[in-house]
Amino acid sequence: MTDHGGDGAAAQPTSVEPAEAAPRAARGTGRRLHGAIAHKLGTAILSGQYQPGDVLTGEVAFSEALDVSRSAYREAIQVLSAKGLVESRPKAGTRVLPRTRWNLLDPDVLAWAFGGSPDLNFIRNLFELRAIVEPAAARLAAERRTREDVRLIKDALGRMRRLTLSNDEGRAADRDFHTAILRATQNDALVTLSASIGAAVSWTTRFKMRARDLPRNPVPDHARVADAIAASDPQAAEDAMRQLVELALEDTRSSMED
Amino acid sequence: MTDHGGDGAAAQPTSVEPAEAAPRAARGTGRRLHGAIAHKLGTAILSGQYQPGDVLTGEVAFSEALDVSRSAYREAIQVLSAKGLVESRPKAGTRVLPRTRWNLLDPDVLAWAFGGSPDLNFIRNLFELRAIVEPAAARLAAERRTREDVRLIKDALGRMRRLTLSNDEGRAADRDFHTAILRATQNDALVTLSASIGAAVSWTTRFKMRARDLPRNPVPDHARVADAIAASDPQAAEDAMRQLVELALEDTRSSMED
DNA sequence: CTGGCCGATATGTCCGAGTAAAGGGAGACC
DNA sequence: GGTCTCCCTTTACTCGGACATATCGGCCAG
């Protein structure tokens, strides 16, 4: 701990690497050092390694254990604190807050939650949110979509047609499809839910793949939604989206039961 | 800028005061110094004082302008960055991100948005979210509520009965009512929306008060929802909540039109 | 036994130096 | 003339260490 910058000290077992073997594409939070620390601690909290009420007391001790400066550690704690995961007070230390205080819909928190082996129950909860929001969003989208919105939706649908849900690009197209619909509602509060909905879409898809080797072709369901929105038919859009979600639930049910 | 700690330098015009005349009760983010800075900058961004794309370049310059150390300023920026408001990169500086990247449902961001004179359109968006989520949540609550949930709901309803929506305590009871229902869904993702829904409830109420001197008595609507949930009747709960939201919309419509 | 004082402790704040990355311009090449 | 590459400057990033402040828990007086 005498040298300054980054290169030395690769021997520390608990050291935090800025890059952290991130595939450059999934650059979530971990590009800078404090981001990497926040990612590490956030994942540890979301995975239950630290439980609500536990104290992370000792800025000095922790920063030394992670082999980073106190500043970097503190900045990471500020990030976690901003997301409602922890709270620090003088003398009392830094404690993990109860789950109800966590901003579970924050994109980073969501990513951390799915970093390890995700909680089945939480995936169910997200799916439930999806089932509530998406049909209503499809209705609003049908009422308000611009020509540009339709283009984005059709574009995502086209990519879904070409690719499949078996690879990452295809799943990204699926997410883009649902995100484009939320955008078309012209409601910023709903757009903010894209990250959460997207996570739900991705993970339910993953479970779907686990359940069936040759899953149902998702394109027709999606096409119906897209057509209804393009035709500015709110009721049809809502119904089509509800059916889409229900089919997804059906395909997923077997592998999501306890 | 020669002295160390807190007491000196009360003459700086742009200085940030840790307490910032906060009524001790509404201790949102501004207890510590970096929290106060984040609050100040966050409010400035949400109010449009800084627009997406604008750069807050110059850690040194900014921290000196606010009369705080660079550490405190940086920690504040980490908070804003964690909420998706800004992004910092070497050489490029710290820029305000496009609105679509903001975590608008984050409790702090929401508070900052309502800190100044809130955007009418955004309130409408939140109300729309409320109209989508709450009826569905009431249905789930009726299916899953525990005895404790019912107690909390009835308790909040009782407080609404005694107090009125004209004072803060009464509005808090209203928020508690809706929060208790979300909790009763046993869905953490929905519970996280409490802050957003609560903000929507508070602000629509405020508009309601502006429109009518003697507003409709809200207790009967709420009581119907509570009874349906207590009776474990999902359909009735959903219908009652939908009616409640529609009545609120009706009462608010006149003062929310352009 | 109750109440307020007081010290130990962990977070909060400040400072200044050194590191690394990225944008933008100068220069070379096509 | 247009485009590409390389380098330099600017800016954020990281570090270490010092001092300030708030809070908890025990101690002492009433």
Task: Based on the fold, state whether residues A178 and A98 are members of the same structural domain.
Answer: no
- pLDDT at position A47 is 93
Question: Same domain, yes or no, for A178 and A86?
Answer: no
Residue B108 lies in a domain: no
Same domain, B144 and B248: yes
Give burial (CB, 10 Å; 0-12/13-18/19+) of B257: exposed
Cβ contact B132–A132 (<8 Å): yes
Nucleotide nearest to A73 (CA to C1'): D14
CA of B130 to C1' of C29 (A): 62
Task: Assess if residue B243 is contained within a domain.
Answer: yes
Please tell me if residue A100 touches chain B, with a CB cutoff of 8 Å. yes
Q: Which nucleotide is nearest to B4 (CA to C1')?
A: C14
Q: What CATH number has the domain bearing residue B224?
A: 1.20.120.530
Q: Which ranges of chain B does DSSP label H, i.e. alpha helix?
A: 33-46, 59-65, 70-82, 107-113, 120-144, 147-162, 168-184, 188-192, 194-211, 219-230, 234-256
pLDDT at A84: 96
Q: What is the pLDDT of residue A211?
A: 66
Are residue A129 and residue A204 in the same domain, yes or no?
Answer: yes
Tell me how far apart the alpha carbons of residues B114 and B99 are, in angstroms, rounded to a whole number. Answer: 16
* Mean pLDDT, residues A157-185 taken together: 91
Footprint of strand C on the protein (CB under 7 A): A 4-7, 56-60, 70-71, 74, 77, 88-94; B 1-2, 4-6, 18, 32-34, 68-72, 75, 89-92
Integer Cα distance of A9 and B144 in angstroms? 53
Whether residues B145 and B217 share a domain: the answer is: yes
Q: Which pLDDT tens digit goes with each residue over B221-250?
A: 999 999 999 999 999 999 999 999 999 888
Query: Looking at the domain assignment, is residue B113 inside a domain?
Result: no
A126 shares a domain with A251: yes
pLDDT band at B26 (very low <50, low <70, confident <90, very high): very low
Residues B20 and B76 in one domain: yes
pLDDT above 80 for A22:
no
pLDDT of B22 over the 70 cut? no
Whether the predicted pLDDT of A1 surpasses 60: no
CA distance B254 to B234: 32
Q: Choosing among A86, A103, A152, which should be mutated to test the B contact, i.e. which has the most B CBs within 10 A?
A: A103
Binary contact (B132, A133; C-beta < 8 A): yes
The per-residue pLDDT for A243 is 96
Is some CB atom of chain A closer than 8 A to the CB atom of B140? yes
Domain edge (last residue) among A71, A103, A135: A103
CA A119 to chain centre: 13
Does any domain span residue B219? Answer: yes
pTM of the model: 0.84
Nearest partner of A145 among A198, A176, A187, judged by Cα: A187
Task: Report the nucleotide nearest the CA of residue A16, measured to C1'.
Answer: D14
Provide mean pLDDT across the span A43-70. 93
Q: Would you say residue A181 lies in a domain?
A: yes
Q: How distant is the alpha carbon of residue A26 from its chain centre? A: 12
Q: What is the pLDDT of residues A200-247, one digit of tens each?
A: 888 888 777 776 666 678 899 999 999 999 999 999 999 999 999 999
CATH number assigned to the domain comprising residue A50: 1.10.10.10
Label residue A166 left, alpha or beta by phi (over 0 means left) and psi (-120 to 50 means alpha): alpha
**Residues with Cβ within 8 Å of residue B155, at least 6 apart in sequence:** B176, B180
The two tokens of residue B4 are 């160390």
Cβ atoms of B80 and B69 within 8 Å: the answer is no
Domain final residue, candidates B71, B102, B133:
B102
Same domain, A40 and A156: no
Phi and psi at B154, nearest 5°, equal -65, -35
Q: What is the pLDDT of residues B177-213, one digit of tens each?
A: 999 999 999 999 999 999 889 988 888 888 777 766 6
Indicate whether A69 belongs to any domain. yes
| Other Cβ atoms closer than 10 A to B161 | 15
Average of pLDDT values for B99-119? 90
Whether B126 and B247 share a structural domain:
yes
Q: B122 with B249, same domain?
A: yes
**Do B97 and B126 share a domain, yes or no?**
no
- Residue A188 CA to residue A167 CA, distance in Å, equals 30
Q: What is d(CA A82, CA A66) in angstroms, rounded to the nearest whole number? A: 21
Q: How far is A94 from chain B (nearest CA, A)?
A: 14
Does residue B112 form part of some domain? Answer: no
Do B79 and B43 lie in one domain? The reply is: yes
Whether B82 sits inside 8 A of A82 (CB atoms) is yes
| Residue A147 belongs to a domain | yes
Yes or no, beta carbons of B104 and A128 under 8 Å apart: no
Instruction: Fill in the DSSP letter of residue B89.
Output: E
Average pLDDT rounded to a whole number, residues B132-139: 98
Q: Match 């939140």 to its residue by tokens.
A: B126
pLDDT value of position A170? 87
Residue B86's pLDDT is what?
96
Instruction: For residue B184, give its domain range.
Output: 118-256
- Give the pLDDT score at A165: 78
More confident residue, B45 or B216: B45
Q: Write b or e for each residue in A44-66: b if 16 or more Cβ atoms lie within 10 A of its Cβ, otherwise e.
A: bbbeeebebeeebeebeebbbeb
Nearest CA in chain B to A139: B132
Tell whether A107 is within 8 A of chain B (Cβ): yes
C-beta atoms of B189 and A129 within 8 A: yes
Tokens of A70: 């106190």
pLDDT digits (tens, 9 = 90+) for A59-116: 999 999 999 999 999 999 999 999 999 999 988 899 999 999 999 999 999 999 988 7
Specify the number of domains making up chain B.
2
Given B48, B69, B102, which residue is the final one in a domain? B102
Cβ–Cβ < 8 Å for B150, B229: yes
